[in-house]
Amino acid sequence: MTIECDGKVIEYNKPIDIYRLMEQLSINREVYLPMVNDRLVTEDYRAEKGDSVKFIKVVSGG
C-alpha cells in the first residue's frame, strides 16, 4: 500500500490498522484525518495491500 503524509509517500507491505500506522508515524489524530482510497475512515479501519492511505492535515492559520 502507499501511505502519503505531508507530501511524502512511503510504501508498506502488510495489512495494518490505521491507528497503529498513526502511532508508528507519530501522527496526532487531532491534526490529521485518515483517508483510504479517497474516503474518510475511522482509526480502527484496517488498511490492506493495494490501498492508498492519505493523512490530510487539518490545521491552518497563522
Q: Which three cell numbers stand for residue 38?
A: 479517497
State how far the Cα of 29 lies from the Cα of 23, in Å rounded to an integer.
Answer: 9
| Using rule CB under 8 A, residue 9 touches other proteins | no
User: Is 57 one of the binding residues for other proteins (CB under 8 A)?
Assistant: yes
Instruction: Tell whether residue 40 is a contact of other proteins (CB under 8 A).
Output: yes
Q: Which of 2, 20, 37, 56 binds other proteins (CB under 8 A)?
A: 56
25 binds other proteins (CB under 8 A): no
Q: Is 44 in the site for other proteins (CB under 8 A)?
A: yes
Within 1-62, where are the H helices? Answer: 18-24
